[in-house]
Amino acid sequence: MCASSFHPDVWTAGSALLLHRSSPEGKASRLSKSSAISISRDWVLTHGTVLDPIVNTSDAISKFISSITPGQLTEAPVEVAKQLEFSVLRELNATIEQHIGRVAYAWICPLLMETFDRFFSTWKFYERDMCRSPLQRVLFLLVRVDSDRPQKNPSTAEQALRYLHTQSSSRSFARGAPVEIVSSPFGNLWLINSMAQGIVSNLIGGVVITDAYVFPKSEGGPVYVVSPNSGNRTLVGMVIVTMTWCQNEWVHYTFAANLALCLSVVLQQKHRPLPSIKSTIRHDKPSALDRGVVMVTCGINKGTGVLVDKDTGTFLTCSHVIEEAPEMEISIVIFRGGRYSRVPAKLLFSNTEMLPYDVAVLRVEPSMLDPSLEPVQFSDAPIVQGEPVVAVGFALLLSTRPTVSCGIVSKSLDCMLMTTCCIQSGFSGGPIISRKTGRMLGMIASNVESMDSSVHYQRMSLSVPVAVLSKPLRQYLLTDNVDVLRSLVSDDPIVKKTWALEFRLPSKL
């Protein structure tokens, strides 16, 4: 049957909360719960994280999961369906409606498997209350609501999924698009349909990464792209990871499954080839947000560089990114001719002193540059507190397109700019861009850490204002004299204390 046989209702494309109905014997020591996507009155889609800790108490469930062939919609045996019975809670007209549902079908997404294996194999995922098995991370569960209740013309599982695929494929989106996530944090009924907002930060294989921050048990919740003009929402994803670490760094981003891609695999769309990593990794084209940024590498360090002048191949980055030079070669990574390649960079200036500002200037042979690169334009307007901005950088170990994060200017000083963008390792040297003008306001240098360095505050980022950078760079480009770049080092005591976040109250006279 085609998707048009499916009839949407008041429950379609909303959010739900699933609470496991423990067996009479009380074998489930903890109540399993998760957010979910309401496809219709009859069908709810959720994520494999809802199986913790049930999966550890049932051999039948474990065997069922391990028997699923990736990419195939698999019906749950009666024994498994009985054990996976949930209260389905959905909000309608300010009232919580409760129904009973059982897992009727499940599938493992091969596109997500490949994405995690290729790009996130070294990452650590929260294991105490979430996925103990990598299979659960790529597992979808389709819940049939009130399956024992007689119905007129009930929709089939395939009809429900095809309708969901049609909806999620109806709108293309790219990095920087506004998103909303609706979920039930911690599986708490009082928090049902809580909202988080952010932007699409990156698109990698079958994974949508967003800086909209949610909490455990939000897995399964719907992710919407929001039209900036009309405010209309389009369902595009489902939350699959809320907590993860990369090289012991807590990642403050949310992972969602790209529903259009993941559903096309399980439904085996005949009018299009099945998506693969190669076809999905670069479907997001360069945008105005990142057309002037590159990855910078030096030894084990990795950061971001900003193209200042294309004719001379001049780039800005942070000194700490290239601190292993000259013992280690400095390179920029460009995407050209359908592949990534490294181009050597010459170090023109680096601040080797323990003084502000953390700035380095590089030069690359212009003929080696990606022709699509364009220099970032510096803003000459006053920076306004509360101004919406976006940070751009090659976050963590990801070597695909740059990651972007939205925020506001929380504090603007002559020598320092602070924003609420989510800054992770690899952003250093990247630009803070005004969302109003598209011009660069500052260069990302760091985020803030606790006194004992045990905690990093990713959403409190510090940048060097363009007012500090523009004059020395302009003089250098006019004179080709690297000595003028020395003014990028400041021994002003006020500047030093500001960047060290030190303060001393004035004494009373």
Q: Where are the domains of the chain?
A: 14-280, 286-508
Q: What span, in angstroms and rounded, lies between the C-alpha atoms of 454 and 451? A: 8
With H, G, I as helix, E, B as strand and everything else as coil, classify residue 266: helix
CA dihedral 368, 371, 372, 375 (to 10 degrees): 70
Residue-wise pLDDT tens digits, 298-314 = 999 999 999 999 999 99
Looking at residue 249, its pLDDT comes to 86
Looking at residue 286, its pLDDT comes to 47
Across the strands, what pairs with 257?
207, 238
Q: What span, in angstroms and rounded, lies between the C-alpha atoms of 509 and 506? A: 9
Q: What span, in angstroms and rounded, lies between the C-alpha atoms of 375 and 378? A: 9
Residue-wise pLDDT tens digits, 428-459 = 999 999 999 999 999 999 988 777 777 778 89
Nearest Cα to Cα of residue 363 among 348, 384, 353: 348
pLDDT above 80 for 154? no
Residue 504 banded pLDDT, cuts 50, 70, 90: low
CA dihedral 399, 405, 410, 415 (to 10 degrees): 30
Residue 270 banded pLDDT, cuts 50, 70, 90: very low
CATH for the stretch 286-508:
2.40.10.120
Looking at residue 229, its pLDDT comes to 87
Q: Residues of the chain with pLDDT > 70: what percent?
A: 88
pLDDT above 60 for 128? no
Question: Where is 115: in which H helix or E strand?
Answer: helix 110-119
Q: CB neighbours of 372 closer than 8 A, spacing ≥ 6?
A: 286, 291
pLDDT above 60 for 127? no
Structure tokens at 250: 């807590």
Stronger pLDDT, 275 or 209, i.e. the higher one: 209
Structure tokens at 142: 């389709």
Q: Which fold has domain 14-280?
A: Thrombin, subunit H (2.40.10)
Residue 261 banded pLDDT, cuts 50, 70, 90: very high
357 prior amide bond cis, ω within 30: yes
Residue-wise pLDDT tens digits, 324-365 = 999 999 999 987 666 788 999 999 999 988 889 999 999 999
pLDDT above 70 for 165? yes
Q: What span, in angstroms and rounded, lies between the C-alpha atoms of 167 and 390? A: 29
Looking at residue 1, its pLDDT comes to 41
Q: What span, in angstroms and rounded, lies between the C-alpha atoms of 242 and 126? A: 8
What single-letter DSSP state applies at residue 421? S
For residues 363 and 338, is the Cβ–Cβ distance under 8 A?
A: no
Looking at residue 4, its pLDDT comes to 45
Looking at residue 53, its pLDDT comes to 78
**Do the two domains 14-280 and 286-508 of this chain adopt the same fold?**
yes
Looking at residue 152, its pLDDT comes to 59
Looking at residue 341, its pLDDT comes to 85
Looking at residue 216, its pLDDT comes to 93
With H, G, I as helix, E, B as strand and everything else as coil, classify residue 281: coil
Q: What span, in angstroms and rounded, lies between the C-alpha atoms of 462 and 212? A: 20
For residues 395 and 426, is the Cβ–Cβ distance under 8 A?
A: yes
Q: Can you tell me the mean pLDDT for 269-281?
A: 45
With H, G, I as helix, E, B as strand and everything else as coil, classify residue 38: strand
Q: What span, in angstroms and rounded, lies between the C-alpha atoms of 334 and 446? A: 24
Residue 132 banded pLDDT, cuts 50, 70, 90: low
DSSP string for 299-322: TTEEEEEEEEETTTTEEEE-GGGG
Residue whose structure tokens are 């994405």: 115
Determine the longest span between alpha carbons in the chain, in angstroms: 85
Looking at residue 471, its pLDDT comes to 96
Residue 150 banded pLDDT, cuts 50, 70, 90: low
Stronger pLDDT, 109 or 372, i.e. the higher one: 109
Structure tokens at 393: 């950088």
Separation in Å, CA 326 to CA 299, 313, 322, 347, 364: 10, 19, 9, 8, 15
The pair phi, psi for residue 93, each rounded to 5°, is: 55, 45
Looking at residue 130, its pLDDT comes to 45
pLDDT above 60 for 271? no
Q: What span, in angstroms and rounded, lies between the C-alpha atoms of 311 and 92? A: 59
With H, G, I as helix, E, B as strand and everything else as coil, classify residue 346: strand
pLDDT above 80 for 406? yes
Task: Name which of 27-41, 394-408, 417-431, 471-485 the model is least confident about.
Answer: 27-41
Residue-wise pLDDT tens digits, 209-236 = 999 999 999 999 999 999 988 989 999 9
Stronger pLDDT, 366 or 26, i.e. the higher one: 366
With H, G, I as helix, E, B as strand and everything else as coil, classify residue 134: helix
Neighbours of 436 (CB within 10 A): 12
Q: What is the mean pLDDT of the chain?
A: 88
Looking at residue 452, its pLDDT comes to 75
Looking at residue 151, its pLDDT comes to 60
Looking at residue 498, its pLDDT comes to 93
Question: How crowded is the C-beta side of 21, counted as CA atoms within 13 Å?
Answer: 16
For residues 331 and 343, is the Cβ–Cβ distance under 8 A?
A: yes
For residues 80 and 64, is the Cβ–Cβ distance under 8 A?
A: yes
